[in-house]
Amino acid sequence: MLRFENLCKRYDERVIFQGLHYSTGAGCVALIDENGSGRSTLLGILAGTIGADEGEVWLGGHSLRTAPLEAKSVLAYVPDDCMTYPLQTGREFLERVASSRNTALDTRTLDFAHRFGLEPHLEKRFEQMSLGTRKKIFLTAAALGETAVVIADEPGGGLDAAARAILIELFRTLAGDRTVFFASHDMALTRGCDAKTLSFADLGMSA
């Protein structure tokens, strides 16, 4: 469901990484390298928000390079700060995501929103929310529709223990039939999700 080959990213003369390759089907995978290793850059490339200098990414069998609309249609992306839409309310964001995936705010999704305690926050704009609340809304949106790949950057950031338990349940549920690929320092979260752990060395990085 997620595959990438020969990914390379440079900033000026600095090589962030090169020669990365990986392929996986349904299940949870956690990238556990430290900050500054290029984790967020890699996840941005996989989600199509950052361009790679070389290589290619496939999401659900669709190439991000040659079929970007099809690839992004099967993707749910949870960035680190979740401030992509500062003027949009939480409800507007969930409705927009549902519409883009040809679905509605179904019972399962609303249940996750309720358990995350989002009801008081859905009419707030993202710029008015805490990091944890923004993260919960993006995570709730990941349950919408029939995606093939979920990519999340530090999904537990800003979440308390109760919300982290719901996140683990969400990821384990989604991983039953799709790829959940996330970056995290939180080994308890990684273990709770029963995630396979990777480092850049496992992705074949060369200098």
The answer as to whether 140 is a domain residue is no
Q: What is the phi/psi pair of residue 187, to 5°?
A: -70, -30
* pLDDT digits (tens), the chain, 207 positions: 999 999 999 988 889 999 999 999 999 999 998 776 789 999 999 999 999 999 999 999 999 999 999 999 999 999 999 998 899 999 999 999 999 999 988 888 889 999 999 999 999 999 999 999 999 999 999 999 999 999 999 999 999 999 999 999 999 999 999 999 999 989 999 999 999 999 999 998 543
User: Which domain CATH number covers 186?
Assistant: 3.40.50.300
Asked if 3 and 158 count as a contact pair (C-beta separation under 8 A), the reply is no
pTM: 0.93
Question: Which token pair is 125?
Answer: 């704009």
The answer as to whether 109 is a domain residue is no
The answer as to whether 37 is a domain residue is yes
* Domain span at 158: 2-86+149-203
Q: Which residue type occupies 98?
A: A
Q: In what order do the strands lie in the sheet with 62-63?
A: 14-24, 2-11, 54-59, 62-63
